[in-house]
Homo-oligomer: A and B are copies of this chain.
Amino acid sequence: MAQYMDVHHGMKGITADQLMAAHKADLAVEKGEGVHFERAWADPESGTVYCLSEAPSPEAVQRVHELAGHRADEVHPVPYSI
């Protein structure tokens, strides 16, 4: 398992409710891929969403987001964190 930060662009105007709904959609399907989405942060002005997860691979992170209907634009392994 490793930690990943993925990024979604083009989310201008996203609301707190929409962020929560998207996160719940991830949680509903993540177990099948061995992924856990831990945190998410949204900037509605620039339309950027960051998601922090624990996962076996970047492909598993993307598969969960795809199953939930919101493919990530970037998936970064973040082996170092504080």
Could you tell me which A residues sit within 8 Å of B by CB distance? Answer: 3, 5, 14-16, 19-20, 23, 39-46, 48, 50, 52, 76-82
Contact = CB atoms under 8 A, between A and B. Distances in A.
Contacts of A45: 76-77
A39 B82 contact: yes
Contact of A82 (B14, B23, B79): B23
Given A41-B52, A43-B77, 14 more contacts: A14-B80, A19-B80, A39-B81, A41-B81, A42-B79, A43-B76, A43-B78, A43-B79, A44-B79, A44-B80, A45-B76, A45-B77, A50-B50, A50-B78
A81 B27 CA distance: 15
